[in-house]
Structure 1
Amino acid sequence: MTPYDTALRADCFATSRKLFDLLLAELADPVTGGLSHAELEIWCEQRGRRLVRQLLQDHLDLRADREEARLAAVHPPGRLEKGHHRLLATVVGTVVVRRCALRAPGRRNRYPADDLLALPAGRHSHGLARLAVAEAVRGSFDAAHAAITDRCGNVIGKRQIEELVIAAAADVEAFYAVRVPVPRAATELLVLSTDGKGIVMRPEALRPATRAAAARHRGRFHTRLASGEKPYRKRMATLAVVYDAEPAPRRPHDVISLGERSGARRVRAGPRASGKWVYASVIDSAEQVIAFMFDQAEARDSLHARTWVVLADGDHHQLQLLQAEADRRDVRIHVVCDLIHVLEYLWRAARCLHTAEDPAAEQRVAGWALVLLAGRIEEVIADLTARTTSRGDALSAAARYLTSHRAFLRYDQALEQGWPIATGVVEGSARYLIGDRLDITGARWGLAGAEAVLKLRALIANNDLDQYWIFHVDRENQRVHHSRHQDEYTLGA
């Protein structure tokens, strides 16, 4: 006689059914009928989470019962050990995963249920890790912990959130290495831009030179910095941006006007960025970030058929790195120094000739700028030099800057060709990636945490987080489950 299958006879979802019936009874109770809509909303959310957690638990128990029956039919008792379990923290609460262990002499236990469920290496589910990322990259870790606890219950601590965020950023470079950008027309500009911005770090996360300078520094005051003193608390992060843009030819007066615009002449707009891709790192060197930026650019234009415009702020070391990378890849780049950066030099020079309240300072800066935009850079240098009173004043500094960067200040050619002439895109990316999150009041970063948040915020800025998460979970499952069984196989000739 065939034995009666008790696993099938029992209602594996009996506990969930009882809990659901209890919820129905409580909702029908007159006491519940007196709740306001806000109180009722909170009540349903809390009870509903309990019900969903129980449904998940009952389903896992059902799978455990089926696994025991299936494995017992093919494995002898000495090789099959029942009763193993592990905890799994999820977005609906913590559940228990029961599973069987397959034992073999000289080998670690194998848990088929772990592979079938694609369980993570740690206690926290991939769904909870995704939620931790979403909350941690937009606010402090304390705020992320509070938000997750409010939604999911007490399933994770602040330190574990940090660890999940760091682990979540492990595959960003690999993701972009295999991602194929959308093809663009050969007539579109390919614009590259890079910048640096400091992040306040914990002492052990500073670069050696900065840490040594901080150790040597003895300030004149105990409670504040004196004028010109640096706190030596920051580590420089390098940002990179690549985007596409249709050429938009302009004239100097479309960019800067000496007076109020009458409206009789239409002002031509500059190039508009599309397909923007951003990346940042506080660990990698500027050379590595620039190389990764060029990788992204070549993925968009592998034949170097498009016009490559590189926007920079004028830092000589940065310019050397950009040109060296272009030479290594045999691609022609057109480097344009940021106009806003140049205007800052001109404003400092104008303040040597006018008082802080004199409106003529603005007119003088605008006049110099229009001459620069027209391509007559030597006239501006000559005017600044003629008005210089000492080598150390702002007029002399502006003249030296224009002289040393004259090859990258051909704004007349840039306007005629329709190229961008300002680094607003990378500046805005720096504010979003660093200023809005890593530069919040009181933040002191470790190296791994800052790097992870930077990369994950860049993914969000690129609208790639959803696709990346699929890629990351797949790679994580490969690491956890496939590598676990590599020692069970031998190579055959």
Structure 2
Amino acid sequence: MKALAVLSSQERLYEQSRQQFEQIVERLCCEEIHSMSHSQIERELEKMGRELMRKLFEEHLRSRGPGRIGKPVTGADAVERPCMRLHERDLETIFGTVAVERAGYYSKEKSPSLHPLDADLNLPEQKYSLELCRRVAEEAAKTSFDETFESISKNTGGHVPKRQIEELVRDAARDFDAFYKMRHEQVVERKDTGSILVMSVDGKGVVMRTSDLREQTRKAAQARKHKMGARLSKGEKKNAKRMATVAAVYTVAPFIREPEDLICENNAERCEAMRPRPEKKRVWASLKKNSAAGHRRSICRGQLPGSFASKELGRPGRRQ
């Protein structure tokens, strides 16, 4: 009897999702679908599936409640907020827009309301979910903003206008240095890494708008005379780039080979299987900051310069 009551409660929580699922099944059984090709059915099912995921997500958030505390809430400003009222906000997700109901605690003074559920769910301040923001940033790093807009609209149920895409990409890099500085401080020293320490520092030229070039390069670019109106002709690409400082540090075990390894029939496959992988690899690249002797010295000492952005890469380094 208790199990039936629990099941009945779950059915009530996800009633709209169950109805949506039944509609999908009915749709797949109708004559119109049976006359479609497999690609048409695939697109139709994806569209209906996103709506099902959206309703499941929304009903799950609703099942967690509005986040009532039952006592006054005090914020970081030391103001006690004894009053409570329900607020609803929209959250744009990869499935579409979902509504989130939250309990907002406020005081009669002019203080912003606090929503404990926002912290519990780690909801962002803006309308767009963190997963949708991540996909926007990844797409924008590969393509233009226009192509990012088309990709997000085509491959997700979320809607992000182009101007908001530009703002989200800027926000994604706002705490870049602080994030990687925190990662450096949390690095745990390992004693089982390879005995070879590999360090590399280089520069990479990136074509920029004239307004974004460094001052000296910008003056030279403005004094340049263009032969063509639409693009730079041969020899005009000078003073059009901004140099990014790039550094890499990793450890790797020695790769020792015997003469037999070089003359065996399956040498290439065997070498790839035996080759040690780089460990704890870090790469820094900064287009905004100038390179400095202090950064080079810190790299040579084996220290990691916190002012450079870093990311771990899984690609193997050069052969030893």
TM-score with structure 1 setting the length: 0.48
Matches within 5 A, 1:273-422: 274-275=278-279, 276-287=281-292, 289-290=295-296, 293-294=299-300, 297-298=302-303
Does residue 219 of the first structure (1) align with residue 238 of the second (2)?
no
- Tell me the amino acid that sits aligned with residue 26 of structure 1: R
Q: CA deviation at 1:289?
A: 4.8
Asked which structure has the greater RCO (Cα within 8 Å, sep 6+), the reply is 1
Q: CA RMSD in A?
A: 3.8
Identity of aligned residues (%): 32
Pick closer, same or farther for the CA change 1:227–1:132 going to 2, 3 Å: closer
Asked if 2 retains the 8 angstrom alpha-carbon contact of 1:57 and 1:95, the reply is: yes
- Tell me the amino acid that sits aligned with residue 105 of structure 1: K
Q: CA deviation at 1:140?
A: 3.3
- Which residue number in structure 2 is paired with residue 128 of structure 1? 132
Pick closer, same or farther for the CA change 1:291–1:91 going to 2, 3 Å: farther
Which is richer in helix? Answer: 1
- Which residue number in structure 1 is paired with residue 157 of structure 2? 153
Q: CA deviation at 1:162?
A: 3.7
Asked if 2 retains the 8 angstrom alpha-carbon contact of 1:277 and 1:462, the reply is: no
- String of CA shifts for 1:223-274, please: whole Å, max 9, x gaps: 5878866542221100001133455799xxxxxxxxxxxx9xxxxx9x9772
Residues matched between the structures, number? 276
Matched residue SS, 2:64: helix
Asked if 1 retains the 8 angstrom alpha-carbon contact of 2:94 and 2:156, the reply is: yes
TM-score with structure 2 setting the length: 0.71
- String of CA shifts for 1:118-177, please: whole Å, max 9, x gaps: 101211111112222332333333333222211213421334334333433422343234
Asked if 2 retains the 8 angstrom alpha-carbon contact of 1:237 and 1:282, the reply is: yes
- Which residue number in structure 2 is paired with residue 100 of structure 1? 103
Provide the rounded CA distance (Å) in 1 between the counterparts of 2:44 and 2:236: 56
- Which residue number in structure 1 is paired with residue 23 of structure 2? 22
Pick closer, same or farther for the CA change 1:52–1:191 going to 2, 3 Å: same
- Which residue number in structure 2 is paired with residue 363 of structure 1? none
Q: CA deviation at 1:37?
A: 1.9
- String of CA shifts for 1:156-210, please: whole Å, max 9, x gaps: 1334334333433422343234233643467x22121111121122233221222
Pick closer, same or farther for the CA change 1:24–1:221 going to 2, 3 Å: closer
Matched residue SS, 2:51: helix
| Unaligned runs of at least 5 residues, structure 1 | 1-7, 251-262, 264-268, 300-324, 326-450, 464-493
Matched residue SS, 1:137: helix
- Which residue number in structure 2 is paired with residue 54 of structure 1? 55
Pick closer, same or farther for the CA change 1:96–1:227 going to 2, 3 Å: closer
- Which residue number in structure 1 is paired with residue 90 of structure 2? 87
Matched residue SS, 2:283: strand
- Which residue number in structure 1 is paired with residue 214 of structure 2? 207
Provide the rounded CA distance (Å) in 2 between the counterparts of 1:192 and 1:105: 59
Asked if 2 retains the 8 angstrom alpha-carbon contact of 1:192 and 1:242, the reply is: yes
Q: CA deviation at 1:9?
A: 11
Q: CA deviation at 1:10?
A: 9.7
Which is richer in strand? Answer: 2
Matched residue SS, 1:239: strand
- Tell me the amino acid that sits aligned with residue 188 of structure 2: V
Match of 2:182 among 170, 174, 184: 174
- Which residue number in structure 2 is paired with residue 459 of structure 1? 311
Q: CA deviation at 1:88?
A: 0.9
Matched residue SS, 1:167: helix
- Which residue number in structure 1 is paired with residue 143 of structure 2? 139
Provide the rounded CA distance (Å) in 2 between the counterparts of 1:53 and 1:244: 45
Provide the rounded CA distance (Å) in 1 between the counterparts of 2:226 and 2:47: 57
Pick closer, same or farther for the CA change 1:93–1:9 going to 2, 3 Å: closer
Provide the rounded CA distance (Å) in 1 between the counterparts of 2:185 and 2:163: 30
